[in-house]
C-alpha cells in the first residue's frame, strides 16, 4: 500500500532513512511495503509511469490491461467519449453504429445539424465522430487536428490558437503543446519508440516550433501547403571540400499532445531518410513510410482521437499520404521483420509487387 506521510506520524522513535538513497528523511515521505522513500527518490526509481503522459504516478491511479494511468490522463485519453459532445462518458451510454453517446446527446443531435441546429434533409456530411452537419457549412467547420465539427454542442466551441494562429476546437486547445521542453520530451520518446524500425541516433537533429505562416515558408520549393503539421529539412553547408548536413525538424506549435506523438514519429522517419541519404525518395514512399511511423505510435497509444485519425489515414485518397501509407502498411505486414521497410527504401526499386 502506498502512503504519503509527514515524518512526525511514523517511526517517531528512530531516524527515518530513504530506502533508495539511504539519506535521512525530513518532512513528508512515501511509505510502501514497509519501506520509506523521499518523494523524489520514489518518483525516479519505484513509481509506476503513466501510459499516457509518461510521468511518475504518486497518488491514486487506474490500472487497465497491465498499464497504469493518472486518473485525469485516463479520463482524457482512454475513457469512452461521446461521439456528439466529445466529453468523457461515465455511467450508462448508448452505442449506435459503433459509436458511443450520452443518451441526452444522442436524442439532441438526432436528425439535426450540429452547427445550426436545423433539421437535416437530403444529403449531409459527417465528421469522423459521427456528428452530422449540412454540407453548406463546408469542411471549414472541422477542427484541423481532431476532425470534430467545431460547435458548442460538439466541441465546446472553437478558438484562434495563440501558438499557431489557426482556429481549433476547445478540446484541442486544452491539450495543446507549445512549450519547447515538453515538445522535446515527446520527440525523444518517439525517437526511442521507433528505434527498431527507423533508428535515429540521439542528437542527430535539431527542432523548432513555428506558427502556420512560418511553417508554410519552410516548405520545399514547388510544394503547395496542405495540412502539414511539420517539415524536416536537411540543409548542406560546404566549406572547401568539407560538406556538413544540418537536419532540422520544424513543427507547428500548439498541436494537441495525442497528435503530437504521431507528428513526431512522422518527422523522425524523415530524419532517418535524411541520415541514410534517401531525401529524394518518390513522394509516396517518403510520406507513406512516415505516415506508417505515425500510425504505429497512434495505434500503440490507443486514444480515441488517435483511432479517428487512423481511420482518416486509411480512407485518405491522397496519393502520397493515403495510398503511400497503405502500401507501407501492406509491406510491413505482421509477418515481415521490423527492418523490412528500411530494406525496401534502401534498395530503391519502389514498392514490392502486390500479390
Written as one string, the DSSP assignment of 286-346 is: HHHHHHHHHHHHHHHHT-HHHHHHHHHHHH---TTTTHHHHHHHHHT-TTS-TTHHHHHHH
Residue 12 above 80 pLDDT? no
Whole-prediction pTM value? 0.69
3-7, 63-67, 71-75: range with lowest mean pLDDT: 3-7
- Smallest CA-to-CA distance from 246 within 222, 270, 275 is with 275
* Contact (Cβ atoms closer than 8 angstroms) between residue 137 and residue 154: no
pLDDT, tens digit, 9 for 90 and up, residues 333-343: 887 787 889 99
Whether 208 shows a pLDDT value over 60: the answer reads yes
Q: Look at residue 230 and tell me whether its pLDDT is greater than 60.
A: yes
Give the pLDDT confidence score for residue 322 in this predicted structure: 95
Average pLDDT over residues 75-92: 84
For the cut 90, the answer to whether the pLDDT of residue 271 exceeds it is: yes
Q: Under DSSP, is residue 125 helix (H, G, I), strand (E, B) or coil?
A: strand
| Averaged pLDDT of the chain | 87
Q: Is the pLDDT of residue 182 over 70?
A: yes
- Mean pLDDT, residues 58-68 taken together: 83
Name the percent of the chain lying above pLDDT 70: 93
Buried b (16+ CB within 10 A) or exposed e, 157-179: ebbebebbebebbbbbbebbbbe
* Paired residues of 246 in beta bridges: 235
Residues in the chain: 355
Domains of the chain: 2-77 (2.10.110), 94-174 (no CATH), 177-347 (no CATH)
Q: What is the average per-residue pLDDT within 137-161?
A: 93
Question: C-alpha 337: how far from its chain's center?
Answer: 25
Of the pLDDT bands very low, low, confident and very high (cuts 50, 70, 90), residue 224 is low
The whole-number pLDDT of residue 157 equals: 92
pLDDT at 14: 67
pLDDT bucket at 222, cuts 50 / 70 / 90: low
CA distance to 97, 139, 195, 279, 351, per residue, from 341 (Å): 35, 34, 13, 15, 10
Strand partners, 28: 6
Residue-level pLDDT at 9: 46
Among 32-41, 85-94, 249-258, top mean pLDDT goes to 249-258
pLDDT of res. 206: 95
Nearest to 288 by CA among 337, 262, 326, 234: 326
198 pLDDT tier (thresholds 50, 70, 90): very high
Q: Cell match 514512399: residue?
A: 285
% helix, strand, coil for the chain, step of 5: 35, 20, 45
Higher pLDDT, 119 or 159: 159
Q: Identify which has the larger pLDDT, 108 or 11.
A: 108
CA distances 27 to 37, 38, 39, 42, Å, are: 11, 9, 10, 15
Amino acid at each position: 500500500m502506498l502512503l504519503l506521510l509527514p515524518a512526525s506520524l511514523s517511526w517517531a522513535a528512530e531516524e527515518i532513512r530513504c530506502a533508495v538513497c539511504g539519506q535521512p528523511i525530513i518532512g513528508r515521505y512515501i511509505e510502501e511495503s514497509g519501506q520509506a522513500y523521499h518523494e523524489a527518490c520514489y518518483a525516479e526509481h519505484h513509481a509506476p509511469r503513466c501510459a499516457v503522459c509518461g510521468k511518475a504516478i504518486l497518488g491514486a491511479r487506474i490500472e487497465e490491461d497491465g498499464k497504469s494511468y493518472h486518473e485525469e490522463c485516463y479520463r482524457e485519453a482512454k475513457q469512452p467519449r461521446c461521439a456528439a459532445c466529445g466529453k468523457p462518458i461515465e455511467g450508462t451510454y448508448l452505442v449506435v453504429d459503433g459509436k458511443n453517446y450520452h443518451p441526452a446527446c444522442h436524442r439532441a443531435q438526432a436528425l439535426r445539424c450540429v452547427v445550426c441546429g436545423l433539421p437535416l434533409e437530403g444529403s449531409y456530411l459527417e465528421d469522423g465522430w459521427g456528428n452530422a452537419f449540412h454540407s453548406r457549412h463546408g469542411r471549414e467547420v472541422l477542427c484541423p487536428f481532431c476532425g470534430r465539427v467545431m460547435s458548442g454542442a460538439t466541441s465546446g466551441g472553437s478558438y484562434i490558437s495563440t501558438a499557431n494562429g489557426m482556429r481549433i476546437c476547445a478540446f484541442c486547445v486544452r491539450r495543446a503543446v507549445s512549450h519547447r521542453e515538453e515538445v522535446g520530451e515527446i520527440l525523444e520518446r518517439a525517437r526511442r519508440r521507433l528505434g527498431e524500425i527507423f533508428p535515429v541516433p540521439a542528437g542527430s537533429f535539431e527542432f523548432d516550433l513555428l506558427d502556420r505562416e512560418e511553417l508554410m515558408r519552410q516548405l520545399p520549393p514547388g510544394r503547395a501547403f496542405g495540412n502539414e503539421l511539420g517539415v524536416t529539412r536537411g540543409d548542406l553547408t560546404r566549406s572547401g571540400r568539407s560538406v556538413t548536413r544540418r537536419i532540422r525538424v520544424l513543427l507547428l506549435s500548439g498541436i494537441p499532445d495525442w497528435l503530437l506523438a504521431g507528428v513526431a514519429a512522422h518527422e523522425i522517419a524523415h530524419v532517418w531518410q535524411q541520415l541514410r541519404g534517401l531525401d529524394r525518395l518518390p513522394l509516396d514512399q517518403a510520406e507513406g513510410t512516415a505516415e506508417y511511423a505515425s500510425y504505429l505510435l497512434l495505434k500503440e497509444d490507443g486514444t480515441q482521437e488517435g483511432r479517428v485519425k487512423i481511420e482518416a489515414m486509411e480512407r485518405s485518397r491522397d496519393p502520397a499520404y493515403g495510398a503511400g501509407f497503405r502500401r507501407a502498411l501492406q509491406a510491413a505486414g505482421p509477418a515481415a521483420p521490423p527492418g523490412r521497410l528500411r530494406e525496401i527504401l534502401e534498395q530503391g526499386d519502389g514498392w514490392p509487387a502486390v500479390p
